[in-house]
Structure 1
Amino acid sequence: MKRVWGFGREKGLSPLGSASGLQRQGRGVRQENNRTDNLLLGYHVRDRDLRKIHKAACVGNVAQVQQILLLGENGVDDRDKMNRTALHLACANGHPEVVTLLVERKCHLNLCDHEKRTALMKAVQCQEEECVNILLENGADPNIRDVSGNTALHYAAFGDNISIIEKLLLYNANTEARNKDNFTPLLVAVNENKQQIVEVLGEKAANIHAEDKLKRTAFMLAVNYDATNVVRLLLQQGIDPFPHDVYGWATDEYANIKGFNL
């Protein structure tokens, strides 16, 4: 009997899972027992983990960040206990004024946190477009990979902001970068049924024939997750509808199991 992979994913969860590091989480900042709990897309921030500059950047206090730097209380690239800089925290929380100040003070744009994510990745992941623009316009590298192999474009493909995608592509983000699951940004977009993002990446010559580590193509993923419009789009772009995955399953077998009419 052939092995079936990937059918019946739980609604609301990314089938990429923690292995690819692209989970969708809640947003917001709250104060509790004299600590800051920031649950914004993976950053859980506590006062005891932070230096003065990180606390000020996290809440967007530009004047305080400036004063801390002028007095030399902290350096512009100082790390907290999770290896984050003030730039990481300002981007994750959407404080472009702080980002601008840090850039003007010559912070290093491509430093990585404990998950090897840059400030640009966090800005993209948190859909903070203004912060994304500032970073790219000042030379941030869009092609650095995090601990799971994701680039900023992978995170953008998981989101919903087309203009962030276009901005990353304008600054030469690699459409063929692969994470540890062998997902390209296009495969991420197909997997999340993001038709507009698939269209934009296709227009930029992203490889529609890319396969993940299980040799599943974009077409298989779209069929598996009932992404009718994406299936139609991929067929229009000339994708092969009859490949086989690593277990020998063909696209029509995926379709039959899912009750999908090709």
Structure 2
Amino acid sequence: MKKYFSFRGKSSVPITSSLRDGFGLRRDKRTVARNSQQGYNIRDKDLKKIHRAACLGDVAKMHHILVLRKNGINDRDKMHRTALHLACANGHPDVVSLLVERKCQLNLYDKEARTPLMKAVQCQEESCVTILLEHGADPNLTDGNGNTALHYAAAGQNVSIVEKLLLHNADIEGRNKDDLTPFLLAVAENKQQIVEFLMERGANIHAIDRWKRTALMLAVTYESTDIVKLLLQEGINIFFEDECGWTAEEYATVSGFNV
């Protein structure tokens, strides 16, 4: 990512992001897939028996633990993760099914303020996402930075997960602490399929973030050529100014993007 600019006579837009710990616009590598570990860092000493079984996807062991009540179904490990968090992050839908059938709590937060649904989405574990949504997991809860499961999906590659979230009433215009909607995030992350799908589902292409940056400004900044073309075809306002008076054309000039 090229650094934001400092033309003489105009102040620069601050480069901060409420997504900096998972996927965001601040860092040199902007997507979670390239710049952070999506799953959990597992240390055996942090885990109880139920958590080990969840990590391994051992359904028989999990059933044994629950029947004998060796651990509670919602017990936390040292990182505040439940067995459901760990099963989702590691892609074990059979364990997830067992836990939800035994009435585990679906919407608990781990130490990073992420729900099991957020982890399943972040790790692209669609089967786990489906089970959670069908059993009533809330798609509109937010992490510490205001991101919903749909924000995590917008930074991913799986259109089907985005569709499942929307079918279960995920807020397509939900905003995180930087006022980034899932659509704006998908633009900045250069996820063209996600961008197109969200547009088809009625996402507001004229949304702006907390610095009044439009989708077009983000697209040219991150050199997302095809998305720029798409936004122009949809009639996005090319003359809109951010809070510092910058237009998309000036963003393009500073980024070295050939409009």
Sort the TM-score into its range (normalised by shorter chain). 0.7 to 0.9
Q: Secondary structure at the match of 1:131?
A: helix
Q: Distance in 2 between matches of 1:150 and 1:117?
A: 9
> How many residues get paired?
243
**Displacement over 6 Å in runs of 4+:** none
Superposition pairs for residues 95-244 of structure 1, below 5 Å? 95-244=92-241
Partner of 2:78: 81
Partner of 1:57: 54
Per-residue Cα deviation, 1:38-94 (whole angstroms, up to 9, x for no partner): x95152221121111001101111110100000010111111111111000000000
How many angstroms does 1:258 deviate by? 2.7
Q: Distance in 2 between matches of 1:68 and 1:40?
A: 29
How many angstroms does 1:17 deviate by? 4.1
Counterpart of 1:16 (choices 25, 41, 64) is 25
1:4 aligns with 2:12: yes
Q: If the length of structure 1 is used for normalisation, what is the TM-score? A: 0.87
How many angstroms does 1:134 deviate by? 0.7
CA 1:15–1:118: 2 relative to 1, 3 Å: closer
Q: Distance in 2 between matches of 1:198 and 1:120?
A: 21
How many angstroms does 1:259 deviate by? 3.4
- Whichever residue aligns with residue 75 of structure 1, its letter is G
How many angstroms does 1:4 deviate by? 3.2
CA 1:234–1:25: 2 relative to 1, 3 Å: closer
Asked if 1 retains the 8 angstrom alpha-carbon contact of 2:113 and 2:144, the reply is yes
Q: Secondary structure at the match of 1:64?
A: helix
Higher relative contact order (CA 8 A, sep 6+): 2
> What percentage of aligned pairs have identical amino acids?
62
Per-residue Cα deviation, 1:176-221 (whole angstroms, up to 9, x for no partner): 1111121110011000111111111111111111111111110110
CA 1:161–1:212: 2 relative to 1, 3 Å: same
How much is the aligned-residue C-alpha RMSD, in angstroms? 2.1
Q: Distance in 2 between matches of 1:15 and 1:129?
A: 22
Asked if 2 retains the 8 angstrom alpha-carbon contact of 1:25 and 1:42, the reply is no
How many angstroms does 1:232 deviate by? 1.4
How many angstroms does 1:169 deviate by? 0.8
Per-residue Cα deviation, 1:107-164 (whole angstroms, up to 9, x for no partner): 1111111122110000000000110111111111110000111100000000000111
Q: Secondary structure at the match of 1:239?
A: coil
- Structure 1: stretches of 5+ with no match in the other structure: 8-12, 27-38
Partner of 2:40: 43
CA 1:63–1:110: 2 relative to 1, 3 Å: same
Q: Secondary structure at the match of 2:33?
A: coil
CA 1:136–1:22: 2 relative to 1, 3 Å: farther
Asked if 1 retains the 8 angstrom alpha-carbon contact of 2:39 and 2:89, the reply is no
- Whichever residue aligns with residue 2 of structure 1, its letter is K
Asked if 1 retains the 8 angstrom alpha-carbon contact of 2:31 and 2:189, the reply is no
- Structure 2: stretches of 5+ with no match in the other structure: 1-8, 16-21
Q: Secondary structure at the match of 1:24?
A: helix
Asked if 2 retains the 8 angstrom alpha-carbon contact of 1:62 and 1:98, the reply is yes
Q: Distance in 2 between matches of 1:228 and 1:4?
A: 23
How many angstroms does 1:236 deviate by? 2.2
